[in-house]
């Protein structure tokens, strides 16, 4: 999971609605469809990216946002690893 800010989450919701091939017009995820509609996890998430399809296929289309999220998560990971070594 990659952590995001609420501001980034709003940008992500717009991306999901406009670019995700698995999100239908009602906001349901076709990948999760088991006969019943299931809300897209990225449309309801405000603190993280939980969908691998979105992370790998949709988010890279928005290069600036993608790089911003990667950078902030890399910094958090580096700080966590540094603290674990202490």
Single pTM value for the model: 0.83
Residue 48 DSSP symbol? E
Per-residue pLDDT of the chain (86 residues; tens, 9 = 90+): 999 999 999 999 999 999 999 999 999 999 999 999 899 999 999 999 999 999 999 999 999 999 999 999 997 666 666 666 66
Q: Which pLDDT belongs to residue 86?
A: 60
Cα 75 to Cα 71: distance, rounded to the nearest angstrom? 6
Tokens at 24, concatenated: 């239908």
Q: Which pLDDT belongs to residue 84?
A: 66
Q: Which pLDDT belongs to residue 83?
A: 66
């Amino acid at each position: 999971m990659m952590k995001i800010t609420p501001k980034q989450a709003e940008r992500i919701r717009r991306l999901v609605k406009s670019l995700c091939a698995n999100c239908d017009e009602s906001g349901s995820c076709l990948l999760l469809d088991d006969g019943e509609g299931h809300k897209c996890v990225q449309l309801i998430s405000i603190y993280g990216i939980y969908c691998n399809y979105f992370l790998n296929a949709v988010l890279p289309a928005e290069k600036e946002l993608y790089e911003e999220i990667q950078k902030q998560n890399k910094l958090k990971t580096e700080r966590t690893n540094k603290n674990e070594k202490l």
